[in-house]
Amino acid sequence: MTEPVKIPDAAHARAFRDALGSFTTGVTLVTTTTPEGPLGFVANSFASVSLEPPLVLWSPARASARFAPFRDAAHYAIHILALEQFDLIDRFRRGGAGFAGLEHAVNPEGVPVLDTALARFECRQSAAHDGGDHLIIVGAVLRFCERDGAPLVFNRGAYGGFAHAG
């Protein structure tokens, strides 16, 4: 390593965040329903946990205005976004259009789902764990689907695509 080793403290908060950003992630849209209607949350904190039983996790930020509805959601869907779905990021930002005018279906649990994602995992919340400024939500996968396509990825504060090497 050419840079000196740092301690992840307040003095190095930006450097720590930048180092974490070196890890390229996929981009997801997590959806649920609330008494006010369907709600979406763009997140890159998604991971598989277990094949047996089928479990996945995601981690919403506690500071998000949408945190409470997702913390309390019994059911939700995680959509792995395709490169051509970049526009969904702005749509589901604070002040964005959300589901207004967006074609979607509703699953048996009442959760809004998109048929255009690369993969979709329809979940029942099975556990939640403290994760500092985030909450780690583990979901039992009830149903899933997938399709071919290029993923939307996030790296070092920017969105882009993925090209296979070799």
Find out if CATH 2.30.110.10 is the number for domain 26-152.
yes
Domain boundaries, the chain: 26-152
CB 44 within 8 A of CB 27: yes
- 3-state DSSP assignment of residue 18: helix
* DSSP strands (E only) in the chain: 25-26, 28-34, 37-43, 46-50, 55-58, 75-80, 105-106, 112-113, 119-131, 134-146, 153-155, 158-160
Strand-pair partners of 153: 26, 160
Tally of residues, the chain: 166
Report the pLDDT value the prediction gives residue 1, as an integer from 0 to 100. Answer: 54
Report the pLDDT value the prediction gives residue 110, as an integer from 0 to 100. Answer: 98
CB 23 within 8 A of CB 46: no
pLDDT tens, N- to C-terminus, the chain (166 residues): 577 888 888 888 888 888 878 889 999 999 999 999 999 999 999 999 999 999 999 999 999 999 999 999 999 999 999 999 999 999 999 889 999 999 999 999 999 999 999 999 999 999 999 999 999 999 999 999 999 999 999 999 899 998 778 7
Report the pLDDT value the prediction gives residue 123, as an integer from 0 to 100. Answer: 98
Report the pLDDT value the prediction gives residue 10, as an integer from 0 to 100. Answer: 87
Q: What is the pTM of this model?
A: 0.92
Report the pLDDT value the prediction gives residue 21, as an integer from 0 to 100. Answer: 84
